[in-house]
Amino acid sequence: MTGITISAVRTRTSILDKSLSKGKGEVSLSCFALLFSELVQYCQNRVYTVPELQNKLAEIGTEVGHKITDLLVVREKGGKLWKSLFGREADKLEHANDDERTYYIIEKEALVNKFISVPKDKGSLNCASFIAGIVEAILCDCGFQAKVTAHWHKGTTYMVKFDDAVVARDKQLEDR
């Protein structure tokens, strides 16, 4: 039984007509881990070296980060990004002694590294580059230009290096 077609185009309900979810939904960790594993394998097949792989992951993470900024802005929700995103707070935040631009976020066991065993020939690979990409995108979108990289140190350490301009601006604000 088919109706009479009057127009060739059906009116589309735009995604903007729908209300935004509260963002409290959850999926199982194994699901995410396996999806991430597919992502890593896919990227790996398209690059030659470990740094290239990390860059690729960071690049894709950046895409995710931009979208998360959008969500944060639309929801006008400040507060604890790390906790809402990764289910718990980062283990430690440190400020580099010798460089005021540099901060370290330390996680003993990064979410994405939980089920990843790094092959011997790729010792330096840290798939948390993906997370670093997310964090970098969010910081940059919010006006804190920075470079974020992931390293193996006390688990996973994200090195957040702010631009000089950001630090200078911060100082100006403090002086006022």
CA nearest neighbour of 156 among 107, 96, 123: 107
* Residues between 106 and 165 with contacts to other proteins, criterion CB under 8 A: 108-109, 111
39 forms part of the interface with other proteins (CB under 8 A): yes
For residue 40, give Cα distances in angstroms to 107, 151, 157, 175: 20, 17, 19, 46
1 forms part of the interface with other proteins (CB under 8 A): no
Q: Contact with other proteins (CB under 8 A): which of 63, 99, 164, 170?
A: 63
Question: Which stretch in 20-28, 97-105, 121-129, 164-172 sits in contact with other proteins by CB under 8 A?
Answer: 20-28
Any idea what DSSP says for residue 114? T
* Residues between 71 and 100 with contacts to other proteins, criterion CB under 8 A: 71, 84-88
What's phi and psi for 117, nearest 5 deg? -105, 125
Give dist(CA 9, CA 78) in Å, integer. Answer: 41
Give dist(CA 127, CA 90) in Å, integer. Answer: 17
Q: Contact with other proteins (CB under 8 A): which of 7, 12, 120, 143?
A: 12
67 forms part of the interface with other proteins (CB under 8 A): yes
* Residue 169: both structure tokens together: 């601006």
Question: Which stretch in 12-20, 98-106, 121-129, 161-169 sits in contact with other proteins by CB under 8 A?
Answer: 12-20
For residue 79, give Cα distances in angstroms to 11, 149, 166: 39, 23, 21
159 Cβ neighbours under 8 A, 6+ residues apart: 102, 103, 104, 148, 149, 150, 151
Question: Which stretch in 93-101, 103-111, 118-126, 167-175 sits in contact with other proteins by CB under 8 A?
Answer: 103-111
Q: Which is nearer to other proteins, 36 or 162 (CB)?
A: 36
Q: Which is nearer to other proteins, 67 or 161 (CB)?
A: 67
Please give the residue ranges that form the binding site for other proteins (CB under 8 A). 10, 12-15, 21, 23, 25-32, 34-36, 38-39, 41-42, 46, 60-61, 63-64, 67-68, 71, 84-88, 108-109, 111
